[in-house]
């Protein structure tokens, strides 16, 4: 009986184990395949089970990057915050701070984006890191339309790194009034005293013609109604004409603001194409190190 019981037992008990290398490679494969949801889960799992592994900071970083790629910016910020708290001295923690700034920028929170970069500038003694933060902050402020603060941020870059970030050319463009010609909203409003004048001032010829035709036609129709002793119809037509006339003035002022916004966008796009940020992050998890590429 004892022999039968022994023979009934399994010959061996096998336990399934996952090595850190296999776990990281699987998460990396998912990221490379742009399956960012699954990649974020697997990178989180790697950090949970292998938090002492040398690849853990990189895994934590790419858990945040996967969420950034999915445009889940708040969740990406949370992931980067965890990385900074867990591995404060790592290279990835510094990159996480830059990415948090980018997340806030994507959320149109310019102030918090700039505040994160200010923290990097205050806390990091390395001039290269500080100047990189100043450059990134300058572009964020420039895209937000805050040209004065952007200019100051560019000029704050240390002298030895100004060539790297094309500071002289950028500031020269910012100071050149011919680079970004704007239309005065006040002038557009005054010109709109003639129906369509504000639209014509900003180059919107079709809108100018429509405003002039409709306002003039309603004014003539109202005058004819009064001339033919139809005061009620004349008053109604006159009110309609007054409404169109007021709308033409407001539209002329608005068209000047829109014109200026479009000109600013074109100027910033042209500036970025010519003198854009020199350093970019390669968003592919290769081993435990980050890959930084420069264009000089």
Q: What is the 3-state secondary structure (H, E, C) of 30-67?
A: HHHCCCHHHHHHHHHHHHHHCCCCCCHHHHHHHHHHHH
CA distance 70 to 66: 6
Residue identified by tokens 């708040």 is: 74
Per-residue pLDDT of the chain (296 residues; tens, 9 = 90+): 544 444 454 544 445 577 999 999 999 999 999 999 999 999 999 999 999 999 999 999 999 999 999 999 999 999 999 999 999 989 999 999 999 999 999 999 999 999 999 999 998 889 999 999 999 999 998 888 888 888 999 999 999 999 888 899 888 888 776 666 778 888 888 888 888 888 888 888 888 888 888 888 888 888 888 878 888 887 888 888 788 788 888 888 888 888 777 777 777 777 777 776 644 444 445 444 444 434 33
DSSP H helical ranges for the chain: 2-8, 20-32, 36-49, 56-69, 73-86, 91-106, 110-123, 127-143, 147-155, 167-175, 185-191, 197-201, 205-227, 231-275
How many Å apart are CA 117 and CA 131, to the nearest integer? Answer: 10
Distance from chain centroid for Cα 176: 25
What is the structure's pLDDT at 179?
Answer: 61
**Burial (0-12, 13-18, 19+ Cβ within 10 Å), 56:** buried
User: Residue 90 has what DSSP assignment?
Assistant: S
Neighbours of 135 (CB within 10 A): 25
Q: What's the token pair of residue 261? A: 């916004």
């Amino acid at each position: 009986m004892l022999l039968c019981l022994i023979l009934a037992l399994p010959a061996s008990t096998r336990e399934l184990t996952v090595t850190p290398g296999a776990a990281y490679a699987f998460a990396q494969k998912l990221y490379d395949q742009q399956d960012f949801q699954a990649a974020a889960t697997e990178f989180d799992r790697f950090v949970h089970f292998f938090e002492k592994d040398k690849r853990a900071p990189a895994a934590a970083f790419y858990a945040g990057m996967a969420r950034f790629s999915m445009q889940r910016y708040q969740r990406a910020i949370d992931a980067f915050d965890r990385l900074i708290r867990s591995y404060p001295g790592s290279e990835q923690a510094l990159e996480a701070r830059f990415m948090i700034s980018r997340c806030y920028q994507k959320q149109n929170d310019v102030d918090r984006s700039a505040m994160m970069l200010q923290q990097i500038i205050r806390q990091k003694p390395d001039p290269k890191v500080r100047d990189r933060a100043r450059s990134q902050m300058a572009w964020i402020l420039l895209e937000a339309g805050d040209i004065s603060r952007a200019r100051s941020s560019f000029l704050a870059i240390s002298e030895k790194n100004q060539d790297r970030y094309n500071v002289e050319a950028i500031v020269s463009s910012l100071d050149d009034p011919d680079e970004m010609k704007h239309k005065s909203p006040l002038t557009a409003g005054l010109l709109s005293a003639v129906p369509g004048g504000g639209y014509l001032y900003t180059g919107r010829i079709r809108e100018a013609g429509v405003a002039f035709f409709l306002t003039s036609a309603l004014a003539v129709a109202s005058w004819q109604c009064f001339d033919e002793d139809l005061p009620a119809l004349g008053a109604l037509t006159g009110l309609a004409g007054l409404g169109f006339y007021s709308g033409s003035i407001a539209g002329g002022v608005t068209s000047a603001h829109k014109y200026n916004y479009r000109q600013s966008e074109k100027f910033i796009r042209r500036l970025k194409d010519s003198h854009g940020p020199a350093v970019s992050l390669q968003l592919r998890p290769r081993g435990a190190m980050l890959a930084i590429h420069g264009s000089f």
